[in-house]
Chains A and B, each alone.
Chain A
Amino acid sequence: MSDDQIPLKDATQNSASVKNAVFTSIIRNSFGLGLFAVFTVGLISITWILTQEKIQTQVRAYEARALMEILPQKTHDNVLVDSKTTLEPSRLLSSQTTTEAYVALNNGEVSAVILPVIAPDGYNGRIDLLVGIKRDGSLAGVRAVTHKETPGLGDKINTNVSDWILSFAGKSLNQPTAEGWSVKKDGGDFDQFTGATITPRAVVAAVHRALTYFETHQKHLLNPRNIQQHSISEEPSHDQ
């Protein structure tokens, strides 16, 4: 039907009922929509409750796997993921906010730490690294966590592309000497990759700074009392 055929008088008389109908429709639809919202939220909540525990363990296992690559389980007797110590922002780590280092314990004594380090001068921006340093100041290992380096060139810092980053293990602040802490092209001891100098240069410099940081902050890092336990449950976790 078309409105213009209804006489004006009728239209005004009907306006109240039209208004009513609109209201009922709005209320009905809102309720409907609300009901569906409740249903869908319920569905998500149920899934969340059912999966939450599993997700927690997965996240921790993933984090732990990266740490374990640097410090295998036999080097420590605590749960690495749960033992962290807070670090103040530092120029040496290129960190602008507080960060957290993982601490490995062996018989109550700190045996190694894993520092989060940023190499700000990669070819395409910052490279996030994890640098594992043993109690004696030698490197346990270095891993690149996230980066945007060019595929095929700078991404050789990934362990699945190249073994390059494994070559840090065993090195320390004096081994090689300060001059040696650069890529071969700059007269240092570290290989660059073919076709890329910037990325390895940035990583080598960042690792060197991390070692310097370790030396100046040894007291704090090696004190077991600075560790905050971040256990998600009261009981010791079984999955480690």
Chain B
Amino acid sequence: MALINSRTSNKPPASISQRARETSPHTLGQNSTQRVMALVIMATVPALVAQTIFFGWGTLINVIWCSLIAMGCEALVMTLRKRPVSFYLKDYSALVTGLLLGLALPPFAPFWISLVAVSFAMIIAKHLYGGLGQNPFNPAMVGYVLVLISFPQEMTSWLPPLGVEGYNNSLSDALFTIFPFGQGIEVDAISTATVLDVMRENKSLTMDELWAANPVFDGFAGRGWMWVNLAYLAGGVFLIWRKVFTWHAPVGMLAAIAVMAFLFWGGTGSDSHGSPVFHLLSGATMLGAFFIITDPVSGATSNRGRLIFGAGVGIMVYVIRAWGGYPDGVAFATLLMNMAAPTIDYYTQPRTYGHNKANKGLPGKD
């Protein structure tokens, strides 16, 4: 995932004299791709820790494995394209794609799922479109959607979180379930539905009964899920504070989810879709809001555009969760809005300095 303007990232470093001939804006010095990516990696640490605590070592193993594949793919493609391999590996953008996919995959997803997802993300979704800065779709989400629709059984097998019977935090179990070279566990036997899944399937229980009957519910949202989401939120706020991205896209998405959830809440009866807080702290909401849709390459570019882009993602996430065919919809919503990003940009072009009106809308009109 590229979290920086393509202009600075897509070519090897130029000398100052070369740079002087480029058009503005120049982002010199500090804001290199490498620095930004390093900040993003740092910001995911709280969530990585939370997810490892609540869902077992699988997450950590997945993150490492996915990152290795991502770097391997990047090196492979760069060699094929006859570009300097180490220069591109050092910008960490491949590492971030792998890292985010590792965080998004179910903890005990077998190794070949990660392999398919990451290599598709890197080779097809990123490099076949021209590499960093050129990809119209968010590579990590393309990889995720690919394995989600191809292997729905493995991709919906989440393990019971900490505090629920069946919770498994043995390192060797996790390792040998992901890489079947030893005695792993039968994921089918202990996997449970996530809270979003249960909420979607629920037809008979009221919210109070649901919370009482199913141990995966706890607090405002799911057991563990709430803390994982709060950890992503903390990482996201850190990134906004360090000016890695602006607040517009995340706020747009979170506000849209909250508004949608409020409008279609349905109370606490059995036909409830869950409270706004439940939706904000469940599934991949915060991961999506701060680490996925903030990708400047596949998202909108102006601040107003980002707000609209985020809101679009939020609305679609909720629509998919409440009425769609999958329990969560962050990946699908992101890809759908990626498609709309150029149109959003077209209609939200900022006013050029010195001109009275922005160049937007259909050309030829005054």
Contacts and interface: CB of A to CB of B under 8 A. Distances in A.
A151 B326 CA distance: 12
B201 A150 contact: no
A100 interface: no
A194 B325 contact: no
A123 B154 CA distance: 18
Contacts of A197: 193, 201
A35 interface: no
Contacts of B157: 194-195
B319 to A, nearest CB: 15
B201 A198 contact: yes
Interface string B314-333: 00000000000100000000
B188 interface: yes
A124 B201 contact: no
Contacts of B201: 197-198
A153 B193 contact: no
Given A194-B153, A195-B153, A195-B156, A150 B325 contact: yes
From A124, A152, A195, name the one whose CB has the most chain B CB atoms within 10 angstroms.
A195
A82 interface: no
A150 B193 contact: no
B203 interface: yes
A150 B152 contact: yes
A121 interface: yes
A153 B153 contact: yes
Interface in A175-202: 194-198
Contacts of B153: 152-153, 194-196
A35 to B, nearest CB: 47
Contacts of A124: 325
B241 interface: no
Question: What bracket does the count of chain A residues touching chain B fall in?
Answer: 10 to 19
Interface in B143-160: 150-154, 156-157
Question: What bracket does the count of chain B residues touching chain A fall in?
Answer: 10 to 19
The 8 closest A-B pairs by CB, nearest first: A195-B153, A194-B188, A153-B152, A152-B152, A195-B156, A198-B201, A124-B325, A194-B153
27 contacts: A121-B203, A123-B325, A124-B325, A150-B152, A150-B325, A151-B152, A152-B150, A152-B151, A152-B152, A152-B153, A153-B152, A153-B153, A153-B156, A194-B153, A194-B157, A194-B188, A195-B152, A195-B153, A195-B154, A195-B156, A195-B157, A195-B188, A195-B191, A196-B153, A197-B193, A197-B201, A198-B201
A124 B200 CA distance: 12
Nearest to B193: A197
B206 to A, nearest CB: 18
Nearest to B151: A152
Contacts of B191: 195
Given A153-B153, A195-B153, A195-B188, 13 more contacts: A123-B325, A150-B325, A151-B152, A152-B151, A152-B153, A153-B156, A194-B153, A194-B157, A194-B188, A195-B156, A195-B191, A196-B153, A197-B201
A195 B151 CA distance: 10
From A194, A196, A198, name the one whose CB has the most chain B CB atoms within 10 angstroms.
A194
Contacts of B154: 195
- Tell me what chain A mostly uses at the interface: helix, strand, loop, or mixed: loop
Interface in B114-159: 150-154, 156-157
B279 to A, nearest CB: 20
A77 B191 CA distance: 49
Nearest to A194: B188
Nearest to B192: A185
B221 to A, nearest CB: 21
A147 to B, nearest CB: 13
Nearest to B188: A194
Interface in A104-132: 121, 123-124
Contacts of A151: 152
Contacts of A194: 153, 157, 188
Interface in A194-231: 194-198
A151 B153 CA distance: 10
B216 to A, nearest CB: 13
Contacts of A153: 152-153, 156
A151 B188 CA distance: 18
Contacts of A198: 201
Contacts of B156: 153, 195
A151 to B, nearest CB: 8
Interface string B196-221: 00000101000000000000000000
Nearest to B153: A195
Interface string B39-71: 000000000000000000000000000000000
Contacts of B203: 121
Nearest to A185: B193
Contacts of A150: 152, 325
A196 B203 CA distance: 16
Nearest to A198: B201
B250 to A, nearest CB: 31
